[in-house]
Amino acid sequence: QKEVEQNSGPLSVPEGAIASLNCTYSDRGSQSFFWYRQYSGKSPELIMSIYSNGDKEDGRFTAQLNKASQYVSLLIRDSQPSDSATYLCAVNKEDDYKLSFGAGTTVTVRA
Amino acid sequence: DVKVTQSSRYLVKRTGEKVFLECVQDMDHENMFWYRQDPGLGLRLIYFSYDVKMKEKGDIPEGYSVSREKKERFSLILESASTNQTSMYLCASSPTGVTEAFFGQGTRLTVV
């Protein structure tokens, strides 16, 4: 079993819709959870971090964490063409310097 | 802003060459990482370092070595480049503690 798994894309959504991205992780000791956005040919950039159960909102982005279910998600509201990118879920354990990444979900927002 | 700079954006090397990829960060971060990214496989950790002269193997260290002589610089070395090492290489850094990593712009290496 992979440490971090994401729903396989690609995900195509119309402009203005909600894009929903899912991520599960295998290690119950995981403490920190991140979503990175990566445009084609560019390096990943951090867009959200979440550390405790529940929702965290930042502009049009909402991260949701459920440690009991070992599940973290990212919602993109009012999707824009500029949101078209690959989204990477990353997880690390307490006192572990390493991040484990999922394979990524590619999102395409149709104008 | 955190700045992580990789020495080259694109590199083409021949099979058997010794290849050096350099990474410098300007935020006094303790932790530095080298990943490679391949289509369908995501980011895989090659090596990481949590202090000067300290290094630990990641998930795919074979064929690679690293050097960290100064806190701000972390070098990845391909001892004898092979075509299966053609990939995007990403350097990242993070401060001590459980926190996010910041990435450099990446080096696309082609081994011919």
Please state, in angstroms and rounded to a whole number, the distance separating the CA atoms of residues B26 and B73: 9
Residues of B in contact with A43 (CB under 8 A): 90, 103-106
Residues of A in contact with B43 (CB under 8 A): 44, 88, 101
Identify the pLDDT of residue B2: 64
DSSP state of B52: T
Which of A1-5, A40-44, A83-87 shows the lowest per-residue confidence on average (mean pLDDT)?
A1-5
Q: Other CB atoms closer than 10 Å to residue A13's CB: what's the count?
A: 17
Look at residue B83 and give its three-state secondary structure: helix
Confidence of residue B1 (pLDDT cuts 50, 70, 90): low
Nearest CA-CA distance, residue B73 and chain A, Å? 17
Nearest CA-CA distance, residue B41 and chain A, Å? 6
Nearest CA-CA distance, residue B52 and chain A, Å? 15
Residues of B in contact with A100 (CB under 8 A): 45
Look at residue B31 and give its three-state secondary structure: strand
Residue percentage of chain B with pLDDT more than 90: 84
With CB atoms and an 8 Å threshold, state whether B33 touches A43: no
Q: Is the pLDDT of residue B70 over 90?
A: yes
Which tokens belong to A91? Answer: 């997880």
Q: Is A42 an interface residue toward B (CB < 8 Å)?
A: yes
Please indicate whether residue A95 or residue B27 has the higher confidence score (pLDDT).
B27
**Nearest C-alpha in B relative to A34:** B100
With CB atoms and an 8 Å threshold, state whether B45 touches A98: yes
Q: Is A18 an interface residue toward B (CB < 8 Å)?
A: no
Confidence of residue B40 (pLDDT cuts 50, 70, 90): confident
Nearest to B86 by CA among B71, B108, B69: B108
Nearest CA-CA distance, residue A79 and chain B, Å? 24
Confidence of residue B11 (pLDDT cuts 50, 70, 90): very high
